Amino acid sequence: MNLNYAIFRSEPIFTITDLAQIGAHNKRDKKSYKSNPDIDINKSKDNIDLVPLNTKYVSGFYNLTKEYKKEHDTRMLTMRADRKKSFRDMIDSSKSVVADELLMSASNDFFKGMTRDEIITWANTCMEFVYNDLGYTKEQVLHSVLHLDEKTPHIHCVVVPLIKKYDKRTKTERFTISKKQYIKDNEHLSLLQDKYHKRLTDAGYELERGIKGSDTKHIKIKDYKKILRKLESNMNVRINRLDDVLNTYNNKLKTIKNVPFDKKHIIVDKYILDIMNNLVSESTKIKEIQPKLEAVFDEINDYSISYNTLEKENQRYKKEVDNLKKRNNQLEHIICNLKLKINYLLNQIKEILKDILHIGNDKSKDRVEYKVKTYYDNNTMTDDDIIDIASNTDKEQVLFDYANIPSYMRNDNKKEGSCINLMGL
């Protein structure tokens, strides 16, 4: 018997543009679907909206987050001009998701023989998982659709994890979009896949959970391909053997004219019996290989989707890193210019203080003395600054003593002054 697996995945949507593209896919708005071999456009009318959305995804998103936008726009009124962002820019540049797409399905054979109503009943059970196990409200579901125009029926359920969260900085509750509120990490996702499987099996559906914690999730895609090629080769060998046995069996039957039998028994040639046993044996081996093939196909499919999600996320982070590097270079240039300006201003301030100590009145000199001492205590000024400002002024002795300027530096100062005076003579 073939094994059928319960499938539940979560794919983050990071930007409004990505959301629009996913909406076009889920609502079948793209003209390219007419030539897409995976989608039977003639059956698209049979798709079922489990949670309808009568507008485009982006319009629906803005409607769902209108209170969040209002809160953001109000905050921007008091924001500095260079820090202001539109609601869309804020959403796109956020580290969190814009929305999350939940994909729910099962192996293709699971749906064989099901009526439309039976598939809808299964889909409703999946939506119970979204509401009762994941914890989303119907108001947080942007759109949910059951696709019946592809090979395997499946559900695309796009949710916006909009919540109100306490902000420690402002000490208020503020809106935010947080997927981690519902799916914390990969370990939590695995637990949710357990719950998804249990909800379906409790409803009477015969589905397998899959290999939890299997090392296969760490296998590289090229290794998956090797395994798949090996299994396919094995399958082909078995099928060829079965064909050979069948041909031999049919040819042998043509040569047999009369088969002796009575009411209870048929006398069969040992050679024919051996062929029949080979038929059973080869058929059994093929049946053993088939579930392994299907399992590897499922693993590869899961891997490729996870890989695409990670690749998209890595591209986003790479773009962010490039932007940060560019911004960092700009800031370094700005800081360098600021340092030059600050040094220039400090030198100007030192010259002004020095001039006051030379030509100011006693009151202004006392004020400069107090200021210089304060700057020195705050490490704004160094010993060299004290020497530059106080040398050859009425405040030289008191400021040099305050800063504990060494005597040899004072002597050098006096000698320098004497030379200057002599040269002046």
Across 64-73, 86-95, 344-353, least confident range: 344-353
Q: Is residue 222 part of a domain?
A: yes
pLDDT score at 214: 45
Q: Are residues 209 and 221 in the same domain?
A: no
- Over pLDDT 90: what percentage of the chain? 32
Q: Are residues 239 and 366 in the same domain?
A: no
Q: Is residue 265 part of a domain?
A: yes
Flag whether pLDDT at 375 surpasses 90: no
d(CA 172, CA 227): 55
Q: Are residues 200 and 268 in the same domain?
A: no
- Chain centroid to CA 279: how far? 51
Domain count, the chain: 3
Q: Are residues 250 and 163 in the same domain?
A: no
Q: What is the mean pLDDT of the chain?
A: 80
pLDDT score at 415: 39
Q: Using 50, 70 and 90 to split pLDDT, how confident is the model at 210?
A: low
Flag whether pLDDT at 30 surpasses 80: no
Give the highest mean pLDDT range of 2-6, 36-40, 248-252, 404-408: 404-408
DSSP 26: H
Q: Are residues 21 and 81 in the same domain?
A: yes
pLDDT score at 29: 81
Q: Are residues 84 and 135 in the same domain?
A: yes
Residue 46 CA neighbour count, 13 Å, CB half:
16
Runs of H (alpha helix) within 65-172: 66-76, 87-93, 116-128
Tell which phi-psi region holds residue 290, choosing left (phi > 0), alpha (psi between -120 and 50) or beta: alpha
Q: Are residues 150 and 104 in the same domain?
A: yes
Q: Is residue 277 part of a domain?
A: yes
Q: Are residues 207 and 223 in the same domain?
A: no
Q: Is residue 77 part of a domain?
A: yes
Q: Is 367 helix (H, G, I), strand (E, B) or coil?
A: helix
Q: Is residue 245 part of a domain?
A: yes
Flag whether pLDDT at 284 surpasses 80: no
pLDDT score at 125: 96
Flag whether pLDDT at 385 surpasses 70: yes
pLDDT score at 34: 57
Q: Are residues 197 and 317 in the same domain?
A: no
Tens of pLDDT along 287-317?
A: 666 666 666 666 666 555 555 655 666 676 6
Q: Are residues 304 and 336 in the same domain?
A: no
pLDDT score at 116: 94
Boundary of a domain, candidates 306, 326, 346 = 326
Average pLDDT over residues 340-351: 84
CB–CB of 174/71 below 8 Å? yes
Boundary of a domain, candidates 326, 358, 384 = 326
Average pLDDT over residues 171-192: 91
Across 5-19, 88-102, 320-334, least confident range: 320-334
Q: Using 50, 70 and 90 to split pLDDT, how confident is the model at 179?
A: very high
Q: Is residue 1 part of a domain?
A: no
pLDDT score at 207: 87
Q: Which domain holds residue 259?
A: 215-326
DSSP 179: G
Q: Is residue 122 part of a domain?
A: yes
d(CA 250, CA 11): 53
Boundary of a domain, candidates 213, 238, 258 = 213
Tens of pLDDT along 390-399?
A: 888 888 888 8
Tens of pLDDT along 221-230?
A: 555 556 666 6
- Tokens for 59? 């319009």
Q: Is residue 419 part of a domain?
A: yes
For residue 49, list its beta bridge partners.
145
pTM > 0.85: no
pLDDT score at 416: 42
CATH of the domain at 27: 3.30.930.30
Tens of pLDDT along 230-261?
A: 666 766 776 777 677 677 767 766 666 555 55
Average pLDDT over residues 405-411: 70
Q: Are residues 131 and 11 in the same domain?
A: yes
Average pLDDT over residues 163-192: 89
CATH of the domain at 290: 1.10.287
CB–CB of 134/46 below 8 Å? no
Tens of pLDDT along 116-160?
A: 999 999 999 999 999 999 999 999 999 999 999 888 999 999 999
pLDDT score at 306: 54
Q: Are residues 394 and 299 in the same domain?
A: no
